[in-house]
């Protein structure tokens, strides 16, 4: 009888740890890919003057590797169109993880703390760890030097691209 109770306690502990991993740590996401394919922001017609307002790539930069686990690749572009601004990821890929967000920062070299980002704004949750994506930039944010992929849950920098 004691052996059965011991086995049940061990099984309950293992199930508890598995539940903790699935709902909080989410390490399993490292082995999953979330692919997003959004179209490039299209030119818009300005009917008041009868012209088409094109998109303009103002700045761009490459995502890179932070360490052996946190890696990114692809291009980040800061795009302007008719008074609006966007960040676009192309051929983007990053190590997947829990609670990943996209930040726009005025820091040239972000580090492992939020303070290292300087003045920053959240563009929202990362849509997917692979693929072309668009994020609107709030009109009141200026001075963007980097776009950062940040794990909010654990306060970890996953990758960033410095605009040039």
Residue 18 lies in a domain: no
Q: How many domains is the chain built from? A: 1
Residue 147 lies in a domain: yes
Helices (H) and strands (E) in the chain, counts: 1, 10
Residue 21: predicted pLDDT: 53
Domain that holds residue 40: 32-162
Residue 64: predicted pLDDT: 96
Residue 5 lies in a domain: no
Q: For residue range 96-145, list pLDDT tens digits in order.
A: 988 999 999 999 999 999 999 999 999 999 999 999 999 999 999 999 99
Of all residues in the chain, what percent carry a pLDDT higher than 90?
Answer: 62
Residue 122 lies in a domain: yes
> Which two three-digit tokens encode residue 42?
């299209």
Give the separation between CA 88 and CA 56, rounded to whole angstroms. Answer: 12
Give whole-number Cα distances, 141 to 52, 86, 115, 150, in Å: 26, 11, 17, 18
Residue 108: predicted pLDDT: 94
Residue 144 lies in a domain: yes
Residue 148 lies in a domain: yes
Phi, psi of 116 (to 5 degrees): -70, -15
Residue 86: predicted pLDDT: 96
Residue 134: predicted pLDDT: 97
Residue 16 lies in a domain: no
pLDDT of 46 higher than 60: yes
**Which domain CATH number covers 133?**
2.60.40.200
pLDDT of 72 higher than 70: yes
């Amino acid at each position: 009888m004691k052996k059965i109770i011991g086995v049940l306690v061990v099984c309950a502990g293992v199930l508890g740890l598995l539940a903790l991993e699935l709902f909080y740590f989410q390490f399993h996401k490292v082995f999953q890919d979330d692919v997003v394919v959004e179209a490039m922001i299209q030119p818009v017609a300005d009917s008041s003057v009868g012209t088409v307002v094109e998109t303009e790539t103002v700045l761009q930069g490459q995502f890179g590797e932070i360490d052996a686990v946190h890696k990114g690749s692809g291009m980040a572009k800061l795009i302007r169109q008719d008074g609006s601004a966007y960040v676009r990821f192309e051929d983007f890929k990053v190590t997947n993880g829990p609670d990943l967000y996209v930040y726009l920062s005025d820091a040239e070299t972000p580090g492992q703390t939020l303070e290292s980002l300087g003045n920053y704004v959240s563009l929202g949750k990362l849509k997917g760890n692979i693929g072309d994506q668009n994020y609107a930039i709030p009109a009141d944010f200026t001075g963007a030097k980097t776009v950062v992929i940040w794990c909010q849950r654990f306060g970890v920098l996953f990758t960033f691209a410095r605009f040039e």
